[in-house]
Chain A
């Protein structure tokens, strides 16, 4: 656990503090994202944790020990550090780069070698890259090496300063997903700085929203920040897509599904029409013994004895329980039926309409 206790930083020659009287706790094993506009002191705050910047006043506690009481170099060897420009050592191979902190800590060679191989695999790199030099790797590969290097000595705390800011959006999304998977396995205490609110919402167990001058405007899980922004600054920073961002944080499993306009194949057209009227739609889904067969237009039912005589059309978008409501909304607005169908394998679970999403957000 990391605790900031009335921490402030005034840079020499500056009248206003870069960070002013900041206090909050970062629980062990969580990702806390510091986010805010430029000049909000998020990077300064991060660098005060590993003492690359010394606070003007206040105290930072790491696992119950004052950071200021330790030798800064020894402190930093216990804290992983990843920066946007990666900062790999160009004259050292990938293996040597990853081995940096273990070497500084004086580990035996027999202990370093297997650890480095393990890390290369952990961050999803091919073993062959080990003997290459940083300049021979792509930006995404370099950032993976940066993460591996930070994790090398298995530090409990990881500081990440806009680590994915310099890679293209596709690689960034992949690195974010990998970080989540990595974190699920490693349970590090991660302090992550970004200016990208979507990245903050996507990665953070908690988000600390900072205003210019290092003022903490809100500190809460992302879902809470989106649902109940503390003030106008937070509302403005979250932007006009706040509702959509919230949808991306809620999974289908957490809300109640609708039965939807579905009937069995044996149903007569009259009964089916009654179901359609109840739901105010002109189509009906067909479910046989729990399996979803597809759907037919109401107009097609004439001159048939049962619904099952028709060839059902497949639903274009079927989603599973771990989908987000944002994906559900996408399915709704891109389907002819204007409903998202939720399945578990080929078992039918229910449907979601735009009205249901609206209720879920307002509840």
Chain B
């Protein structure tokens, strides 16, 4: 056996070709787990950010709690949740969502705090209501900072999803775990490389989205 392993090639392409369907399935699952985590995390963060912005005193406790969540080792968090929610998508998502909150909330609040005071005064002075000002003036101006947060959260979540392989999910993480368990490098490499590619790809898409949504920020940069 040990002799046989030394002759094992770094990557077996015929394994890759024969398992394309499975690899594709894992990739889709990986994307789905990432997407749900980011979507749910963002919605919760928007609500918490609005509370923090409206009632300033709540900002410190909100960042403290989300900061504690952020610092729990992911492995420990999933294991702690198993008695409550079992080996389920819910368990995975509770963990994944928890890790996005601090990043999202920090960036949303910082982005809106960064809106110049005179812009707010002009908006109110011309008859904007607070709600409309938030939606039409403050959030659009905060967008570059918010998207910067989404990019960090996305790359982080794509990486964290692989850990959920330990509770039976994991997307591409399954391939990595499989490779580790069987000391079989091909799935290990395929899972790792695709996970990195996925992170870079999503980050690239977000850069394009940001450029499309904030043409004004780019022109400002070229003016200096």
Minimum CB–CB distance from B144 to chain A (whole Å) comes to 10
In the complex, A50 has a CB within 8 A of chain B: yes
CB neighbours of B179 from chain A (8 A): none
Minimum CB–CB distance from B129 to chain A (whole Å) comes to 5
Given contacts A83-B118, A86-B118, A89-B137, contact A76 B126 (CB under 8 A): yes
B123 and A135 contact, CB distance less than 8 A: no
B141 and A90 contact, CB distance less than 8 A: yes
Given contacts A91-B141, A135-B223, A136-B219, contact A104 B121 (CB under 8 A): no
Our pick among B128, B140, B223 for the contact of A104 (Cβ within 8 Å) is B128
B interface footprint on A51-94 (CB within 8 Å = 1, 0 otherwise): 01000000000000000000001111100010111111111100
- In the assembled complex, the Cα of A224 lies from the Cα of B140 at a distance in Å of 50
CB neighbours of A77 from chain B (8 A): 126-127
CB neighbours of A135 from chain B (8 A): 216, 219-220, 223
B216 and A133 contact, CB distance less than 8 A: yes
- In the assembled complex, the Cα of A75 lies from the Cα of B123 at a distance in Å of 13
CB neighbours of B140 from chain A (8 A): 91
- In the assembled complex, the Cα of A76 lies from the Cα of B220 at a distance in Å of 30
A104 and B122 contact, CB distance less than 8 A: no
Which residue of chain A lies nearest to B120 when distances are taken between CB atoms in the complex? A87
Given contacts A52-B124, A135-B220, A135-B223, contact A85 B118 (CB under 8 A): yes
B223 and A136 contact, CB distance less than 8 A: yes
CB neighbours of B125 from chain A (8 A): 50, 52, 76, 81, 83, 87, 159
Interface residues of B in 181-224 (CB under 8 A from A): 214-217, 219-220, 223
B interface footprint on A97-135 (CB within 8 Å = 1, 0 otherwise): 000110010000000000000000000000000001101
CB neighbours of B216 from chain A (8 A): 90-92, 133, 135
A interface footprint on B5-41 (CB within 8 Å = 1, 0 otherwise): 0000000000000000000000000000000000000
Which residue of chain A lies nearest to B222 when distances are taken between CB atoms in the complex? A136
A101 and B121 contact, CB distance less than 8 A: no
Our pick among A84, A91, A159 for the contact of B214 (Cβ within 8 Å) is A91
CB neighbours of B219 from chain A (8 A): 132-133, 135-136
Number of interface residues of A (CB under 8 A): 29
- In the assembled complex, the Cα of A7 lies from the Cα of B128 at a distance in Å of 25
Our pick among B116, B128, B143 for the contact of A73 (Cβ within 8 Å) is B128
- In the assembled complex, the Cα of A73 lies from the Cα of B127 at a distance in Å of 4
- In the assembled complex, the Cα of A135 lies from the Cα of B223 at a distance in Å of 8
A74 and B141 contact, CB distance less than 8 A: no
- In the assembled complex, the Cα of A49 lies from the Cα of B219 at a distance in Å of 37
Which residue of chain B lies nearest to A77 when distances are taken between CB atoms in the complex? B127
B220 and A81 contact, CB distance less than 8 A: no
CB neighbours of B120 from chain A (8 A): 87
Which residue of chain B lies nearest to A135 when distances are taken between CB atoms in the complex? B220
- In the assembled complex, the Cα of A262 lies from the Cα of B120 at a distance in Å of 64
With contacts defined as CB atoms under 8 Å apart, how many contacts are there between chain A and chain B in the complex? 77
Minimum CB–CB distance from B116 to chain A (whole Å) comes to 7
- In the assembled complex, the Cα of A73 lies from the Cα of B128 at a distance in Å of 6
B127 and A133 contact, CB distance less than 8 A: no
CB neighbours of A159 from chain B (8 A): 125
Number of interface residues of B (CB under 8 A): 24
Minimum CB–CB distance from A52 to chain B (whole Å) comes to 6
CB neighbours of A146 from chain B (8 A): 122
A104 and B126 contact, CB distance less than 8 A: yes
Minimum CB–CB distance from B66 to chain A (whole Å) comes to 28
In the complex, B119 has a CB within 8 A of chain A: yes
Our pick among B119, B121, B126, B129 for the contact of A90 (Cβ within 8 Å) is B119
B interface footprint on A174-196 (CB within 8 Å = 1, 0 otherwise): 00000000000000000000000
Minimum CB–CB distance from B189 to chain A (whole Å) comes to 44
Which residue of chain A lies nearest to B215 when distances are taken between CB atoms in the complex? A133
A interface footprint on B124-151 (CB within 8 Å = 1, 0 otherwise): 1111110000000100110100000000
Given contacts A133-B216, A133-B220, A135-B216, contact A87 B123 (CB under 8 A): yes
- In the assembled complex, the Cα of A49 lies from the Cα of B29 at a distance in Å of 59
A76 and B127 contact, CB distance less than 8 A: yes
CB neighbours of A76 from chain B (8 A): 124-127
B116 and A87 contact, CB distance less than 8 A: yes
Given contacts A81-B122, A83-B121, contact A90 B220 (CB under 8 A): yes
A88 and B122 contact, CB distance less than 8 A: yes
Minimum CB–CB distance from A143 to chain B (whole Å) comes to 12
A interface footprint on B38-80 (CB within 8 Å = 1, 0 otherwise): 0000000000000000000000000000000000000000000
- In the assembled complex, the Cα of A83 lies from the Cα of B124 at a distance in Å of 12
CB neighbours of B116 from chain A (8 A): 85, 87, 90
Interface residues of A in 152-166 (CB under 8 A from B): 159
9 intermolecular pairs with C-beta atoms under 8 Å apart: A76-B124, A83-B118, A87-B118, A88-B119, A89-B137, A91-B214, A91-B217, A92-B216, A159-B125
Q: List the interface of chain A (C-beta within 8 A of B).
A: 50, 52, 73-77, 81, 83-92, 100-101, 104, 132-133, 135-136, 146, 149-150, 159
Query: What 9 new A-B contacts, CB under 8 Å, besides A101-B126, A104-B127, A133-B215?
Result: A85-B118, A87-B125, A89-B141, A91-B140, A132-B219, A135-B216, A136-B220, A146-B122, A149-B126
9 interchain residue pairs of minimum CB distance: A87-B122, A85-B118, A77-B127, A81-B125, A87-B118, A76-B127, A135-B220, A133-B216, A91-B140
